[in-house]
Amino acid sequence: MLKTASRFGVLAITVICGIAFAGWALGIPVLASVVPGWPRMALIVILCFLLCAGALFEQTLTVRHRSLLLARIAATAIVAAVGIYTLIDVVATGGLNGSFGNVNLFGPGLGRPSAASAFNFLLAAIALMLPRSESAGRLYSALIALGLCITAFDFVGYAYGIAALSRAPTISTMSLPTMVCFILFFTAALLARPKTGWPAIIFAHNSGGVAARRLLPTVMVLPFILNGIVLLAYHSSPFEAPFGFAILAVATSAGMAIAIVIIANWLARHQEERQRSQELLQAIADNSMAVVYVKDLAGRYLMVNRLYLDTFRVERAAVIGKTDYDVFSKYEADSFRAMDQHVARSGQAMTGEEIATQADGFHTFVSLKAPLQDAEGRTYAVFGISTDVTDRKRNEKALAASEERTRSIVEMSLDAVISIDRTGAITGWNNQAEKIFGWTQAEAVGRPVEETIMPWRFRDAHKRGLARYLTTGRAQVLGKRLELTALHRDGREFPVELSINATGSADAPAFGAFVRDITERKSADIRLKGQLERLALLENITHAVAQHRQAPETFPAILRILEEQLPADFVCACSCNPARSEIVVDHIGAGSAPLAHALGIGGGTVIPAGEASLARCTGGELVYEPDITETSFAFARPFGAQGLRSLVFAPLMAGTGAVGVLVVARQGGDAFSGADREFLGQVGARMALAVRRA
């Protein structure tokens, strides 16, 4: 706003100079003098004013251009040269003693400025050449003030009709347009740079600025008005000069006293308002849950709240006006001071952690510090709000330690630990999960869990269950231990034991699952079940041996049990004839009769026992042929033709020799497990017992 007013001043100067130039160009002298017969505004003066106006306009621009800066310097250099040249001429020609030197110093067309005008132009040129720094601003305002004072002499001359100060050919002579232009120029120059030098005091938004703006017009205008009234009274009815001066002194003193009383009253009210504001601010700070304080730029405390005093156990009088070095250790004070200075230099708020010693040890504070700035944006203090976060930091450390322990437990767990979010995307995947499912953590995290570990047939049910829980909060599997089938990365399925729990919060639900591969356990269960079944079968066989005391009665029952419960595709019992190195088929299982017929085996069939497998069996060894198609055993060859590729020959031992052979066959290769073979050996022992009892 002030710079806009400065631009209006530049415009007014330009208009006045344009009118004066028109007076010279059109031959109308009154346009350049205002009053006929009064001094006219010389063309050289018009040129200097226009150059100064252009340079001043550049000062009001926010954006700086190098070309405009160079133009400003060139324009002011020309004006300075005119002023210096004119003043040198005045001194050289004795103009200071009353003579006026060369009237047409710059030629018959341009004329010459008066000594006062030349000096004002020199002051204006020097001021406009100065940089925009704070120190240069003080010199700038001083030069402008000096120019105003010189112009004031002409203003008084014109206002009071004193020709010696205005129209007479003296060093202070100025034409009326020139005087008006100087007043406009110097006023606009002050408005162009209102934040430097003494104008900054007047235009400040503090109590000093307000007082100056209220008092200054009175101080400047009242003496002129009173003097004008005295002069007017003197011209109307002359009186002695001492009488006039006495009246003027009393009137001026009374007027100044009234102005001072008005300003003092305003300052008192302003002080009361500021005191109330400070008390209100202090009350707010005292009831704050954080430590609040204000320091000046030297680090001295201007204000602290009650919590500050309670926290550090100090009295307010021992803190106000003191620095951190008077309250804390040097190490702590250095840290506080460094942060304060950074905030003051940058003019920006800053948040950081600070450590201060209290009776129970070190406490950590999170401090927000910001600059306090006046209306001109100058930092004059730093305020801070510090919150004690010691307990929170301790809790955070304890939580971090707990989370680290939990993470270690999860990583060391024998179960796969998997976490998913509300969308079903994997968010957690421990080392055991990598081993069980074959996906690395980097590969698994972010993938949909159903596409990673679930067979196709379970995926839709999982999605429906997740959607139902998120919508209604009802779950069918949460908190339960389940046995399901999981999917390995290589595509194979395997049994797992699964337990799922809801984690997270109502706003951000999540789920955690513990998954254990139970393949080995399932295999062990199957093996145990098989062993129990075989024990029951063996018990049945033992019961049959005990029930039927003769072998011909016992063997059919045993063979039937083997066919139905082992089970077996073909079973027969043979007796041994060691003298002739042969075995004779005595009994064929009832269910094996069709295959026996196809094999050409019946009751009384004699089989040579000299071949390797039968010879080993009659020698007391249980013989297993996992795939008889790969052997040259003549007896076994027909079995292979019927698809009975797996054969077991179990000896029936009585003493040191075999009294018979139990032949058991199954379709497919390697169809008898070790447990099956061990069981058949035990059956052979039971059958041999029946033979001995016979």
Distances (CA, A) of 192 to 53, 99, 124, 133, 148: 12, 38, 13, 14, 15
The answer to whether residue 593 scores a pLDDT higher than 60 is yes
The answer to whether residue 82 scores a pLDDT higher than 60 is yes
Q: How far apart are CA 688 and CA 438, in angstroms?
A: 52
- Predicted local distance difference test score (pLDDT) of residue 616: 87
If pLDDT is split at 50, 70 and 90, which confidence band does 686 have?
confident
Q: What is the DSSP letter of 203?
A: S
- Predicted local distance difference test score (pLDDT) of residue 96: 52
Q: How far apart are CA 553 and CA 537, in angstroms?
A: 18
The yes-or-no answer to whether 288-393 and 529-693 have a common fold is yes
The answer to whether residue 600 scores a pLDDT higher than 80 is yes
Residue 19 main-chain phi, psi, to 5 deg = -65, -45
Spell out the residues 6+ positions from residue 515 whose beta carbon is closer than 8 angstroms to its own: 415, 416, 417, 418, 433, 436, 453, 486, 496, 497, 498
Location of structure tokens 């120059």: 189
Q: Any idea which of 159-173, 266-280, 409-423 has the lowest mean pLDDT?
A: 159-173
**H-type helices in 377-448, by residue range?**
390-412, 431-437, 441-444
Comparing 237 with 14, which gets the higher pLDDT? 14
Greatest CA span in the chain, whole angstroms? Answer: 182
- Beta-strand relationship, 481-487 and 301-304: unpaired
- Predicted local distance difference test score (pLDDT) of residue 663: 94
Q: Using one digit for the tens of pLDDT, what is the confidence trace for 330-374?
A: 999 999 999 999 999 998 999 998 888 887 888 888 999 999 887
Q: How far apart are CA 303 and CA 572, in angstroms?
A: 109
Q: What is the mean pLDDT of residues 408-437?
A: 83
Q: What is the mean pLDDT of residues 446-475?
A: 88
State percent of the chain over pLDDT 90.
17
- Predicted local distance difference test score (pLDDT) of residue 547: 65
Residue 100 main-chain phi, psi, to 5 deg = -110, 10
Instruction: For the domain made up of 288-393, give the CATH fold.
Output: Beta-Lactamase (3.30.450)
SS3 26: helix
The pair of structure tokens assigned to 363 is: 């406490």
Q: How far apart are CA 624 and CA 633, in angstroms?
A: 12
- Predicted local distance difference test score (pLDDT) of residue 87: 85
Q: How far apart are CA 126 and CA 662, in angstroms?
A: 131
Comparing 463 with 203, which gets the higher pLDDT? 463
The full 3-state SS of 359-375, as one line of letters, equals: CCEEEEEEEEEEEEECC
Give the range with max mean pLDDT: 41-45, 167-171, 274-278, 623-627: 623-627
Q: Any idea which of 48-57, 104-113, 425-434, 516-525 has the lowest mean pLDDT?
A: 104-113
**How large is the angle between the packed helices 66-92 and 43-59, nearest 10 degrees?**
140
The pair of structure tokens assigned to 639 is: 């079995």
- Do the beta carbons of residue 176 and residue 1 sit within 8 Å? no
Q: Residue ranges per domain, the chain?
A: 2-203, 204-277, 288-393, 413-517, 529-693
- Predicted local distance difference test score (pLDDT) of residue 634: 77
Comparing 266 with 327, which gets the higher pLDDT? 327
Comparing 426 with 281, which gets the higher pLDDT? 426
The answer to whether residue 406 scores a pLDDT higher than 90 is no
- Report the chain's mean pLDDT, rounded to a whole number: 81
Q: What is the DSSP letter of 114?
A: -
Q: What is the mean pLDDT of residues 492-500?
A: 89
- Predicted local distance difference test score (pLDDT) of residue 557: 82
If pLDDT is split at 50, 70 and 90, which confidence band does 646 have?
very high
- Beta-strand relationship, 481-487 and 493-504: antiparallel
If pLDDT is split at 50, 70 and 90, which confidence band does 574 have?
very high
Comparing 161 with 143, which gets the higher pLDDT? 143
Distances (CA, A) of 222 to 182, 186, 253: 22, 21, 10
Instruction: For the domain made up of 529-693, give the CATH fold.
Output: Beta-Lactamase (3.30.450)
The model scores a pTM over 0.85 = no
Domain 413-517 has CATH 3.30.450.20: yes
